[in-house]
Amino acid sequence: MSGHNKWSTIKHKKAKTDEKRGKEFTKIAKEITIAVRTGGGGDPEMNSKLKLAVQKAKSVNMPNDNIARAIKKGTGDMEGDALEEIIYEGYATAGVAVMLEIATDNRNRTASEVRHYFSKYGGNLGENGCVAWMFKRVGTISIAKEDLKVDEEEFMLQVLDMGAEDIKDDDDYFEVITLPEHLMEVKEALEKEGYKLEDVDIVLSPENTVEINDETVAAKVIKLIDLLEDHDDVQRVYTNMSISDEIMDKL
């Protein structure tokens, strides 16, 4: 079982607050549209990427009309922006690796704005591949510890039998890790057992982390991440930063 990371827990809780904003709906709508275009059409039962995006939309109470419009934009049945899906890579201060998933209708504008954010907070936007090797794509399922139906050791054995790869301890949550292609299979097995799933996603997970032990440096990196996450064209932000409990509590 992997150890926990305080920053991971804070991000999880922060996301639950951010999801209440209309901007979150916009980002999920983009994700749905791109999933239709790249994942195999507008039927969620035939397109696992779309199915996951629709489930995410419903988990934050996104209206069905919004979901339907996003699917129609993907199929071409409704006019929409010509979205381009891009990965940006770079470094924040202290050598923290940063990966960005972008959905934009203007590559030059987005690149200019993101580069400005990096420069302003002591980082730099890099070339393709400069940090990608530090991350791997995995499926994640978050379950609150209070919702466990068995003890922790038995739960770990259960999910491994279901096809999971690992479990991470994130304070109040367990994060079940799967191969991307096994995510839906493990998700459905957990639901069949009656578990309440807090979050289901496919993400980029760092292979190794950079420990931040300086409060000023940590604050600078977090400010950069907050700005990037708030950008309209940035769908996801991933880093290999690990912040100690002591510093995280101060921040």
Nearest CA among 207, 241, 226, 242 for reference residue 98: 241
Say what the pLDDT of residue 37 is.
86
Say what the pLDDT of residue 2 is.
41
Residues in the chain: 251
190, 141 Cβ separation under 8 angstroms: yes
* Residue 188 belongs to some domain of the structure: yes
* Residue 2 belongs to some domain of the structure: no
Say what the pLDDT of residue 198 is.
84
Q: Is the pLDDT of residue 15 over 90?
A: no
Residues 179 and 89 in one domain: no
Instruction: Out of 66-70, 85-89, 147-151, 238-242, pick the least confident.
Output: 147-151
Sign of CA dihedral 8, 91, 135, 82: positive
Write out pLDDT tens, residues 229-246. Answer: 989 899 999 999 988 777
Tell which wins on pLDDT, 109 or 6: 109
CATH of the domain at 33: 1.10.10.200
In the chain, the largest separation of any two C-alpha atoms, in whole Å, equals: 52
Nearest CA among 141, 143, 137 for reference residue 203: 137
The angle that helices 107-120 and 215-230 make with each other, rounded to 10 degrees, is 160
* Residue 33 belongs to some domain of the structure: yes
* Residue 213 belongs to some domain of the structure: yes
* Residue 1 belongs to some domain of the structure: no
Range of the domain at 231: 84-133+208-250
* Residue 105 belongs to some domain of the structure: yes
Residues 31 and 55 in one domain: yes
Residues 142 and 152 in one domain: yes
pLDDT class of 3 with cuts at 50, 70, 90: very low
Which residue(s) pair with 140 in the sheet?
177, 201
Residues 113 and 212 in one domain: yes
Residues 156 and 120 in one domain: no
In the 8-state DSSP scheme, what is residue 206?
A: E
Residues 105 and 217 in one domain: yes
Sign of CA dihedral 67, 20, 205, 193: negative
Q: Looking at the 3D structure of the chain, how many domains does it have?
A: 3
Report the C-alpha gap between 7 and 104 in whole angstroms. 28
Residue keyed to tokens 């980029």: 204
Residues 155 and 144 in one domain: yes
**What is the dihedral angle through the alpha carbons of 14, 190, 42, 230, rounded to the nearest 10 degrees?**
10
Burial category of 174 from C-beta neighbours within 10 Å (exposed 0-12, middle 13-18, buried 19 and up): buried
Report the C-alpha gap between 97 and 91 in whole angstroms. 5
Residues 129 and 213 in one domain: yes
Residues 124 and 245 in one domain: yes
Residues 58 and 157 in one domain: no
* Residue 3 belongs to some domain of the structure: no
Q: Is the pLDDT of residue 19 over 50?
A: no
Nearest CA among 152, 143, 207 for reference residue 173: 143
- The whole-chain average pLDDT of the chain stands at 86
Residues 22 and 123 in one domain: no
**What are the backbone angles phi and psi of residue 3, rounded to the nearest 5°?**
-75, 165
* Residue 90 belongs to some domain of the structure: yes
Say what the pLDDT of residue 4 is.
42
Alpha-carbon distance values, 84 to 24, 57, 60, 106, 187 (Å): 18, 20, 24, 8, 29
CATH of the domain at 121: 3.30.70.980
Residues 56 and 166 in one domain: no
Question: 200: which 2 tokens?
Answer: 């289901």
